[in-house]
Amino acid sequence: MPKYTEKDLQEAVREVHQGTSQRSAAKRWHIPRATLQDRLNGGISHAEAHECRQRFSRQQEKLLSRWIFHLVALGVPPTQGQFEEFASRVLVVHGDSQPLGKHWVQGFLRRNSEVKLVKENDFREEAAATWDSYSYMDHDPEMLFDGEALEIPDWIEPPGPYLEEYTFPLQD
């Protein structure tokens, strides 16, 4: 059976709620009928079930995404290495000194598909010069994750219309 995505499963659930039979919705979206039935009976997604194993919560990852969008809006998109360095620094500030896993950034990008990073070798010299004048590490990561409050500090979302297209709610 072809692979299906969480979006496919959600579409199948939507169709069942609109009156389509479970069997035909499962067949149309190439989803095992038992999987569709589990979700209809209140089951949670694989990602939700394993969130406790992740280094960052979903809300914290949303804040990391906003940090990236902020830098993109400033014209200095981070590279994978710069993003990994910042995420590691956030963890250290919160008492987690273990290094990020080898494929953590790829997993983050898969979970947050709206985020795009600049490849190291695509980073033009002009952009690199911009990084010299704007240090993304000047901001204290403690400000980014202020306990459970999840307030967005002013430096990550300054007032102005240029960031409107990058904002999204933190609620899941």
Q: Specify whether 115 is located in the same domain as 61.
A: yes
Q: What average pLDDT does the segment 151-160 reach?
A: 48
Question: For residue 144, which of 85, 75, 84, 65 has the smallest C-alpha distance?
Answer: 65
23 and 58 housed in the same domain: no
Q: What's the pLDDT score for residue 17? A: 96
Residue 159 located in a structural domain: no
- Asked if 93 and 22 sit in the same domain, the reply is no
What span, in angstroms and rounded, lies between the C-alpha atoms of 159 and 55?
30
Q: Are residues 76 and 110 in the same domain?
A: yes
Mean pLDDT value across residues 113-139: 61
Residue 163 included in any domain: no
Output phi, psi for 16, to 5 deg.
-65, -40
Q: For residue 31, give its domain range.
A: 6-51
Residue 150 belongs to a domain: no
When pLDDT is cut at 50, 70 and 90, the band that residue 2 belongs to is: low
DSSP 125: H
73: left (phi over 0), alpha (psi -120 to 50) or beta: alpha
| Res. 132: pLDDT tops 60 | no
pLDDT at res. 150: 47
Task: Look at residue 103 in the predicted model and tell me its pLDDT.
Answer: 93
pLDDT for res 121: 60
How confident is the model at residue 93, as a pLDDT?
84
Supply the mean pLDDT for the chain: 77
Domain count, the chain: 2
- Do 36 and 71 belong together in one domain? no
Which secondary structure element, helix H or strand E, spans residue 11, and what is its range?
A: helix 6-17
pTM of this structure: 0.57
Nearest-CA neighbor of 170 among 59, 74, 28, 96? Answer: 59
Top pLDDT among 156 and 53 is at: 53
Contact yes or no for 78/68 (Cβ under 8 A): yes
Whether 78 and 43 map to the same domain: the answer is: no
Domain identity same for 60 and 33: no
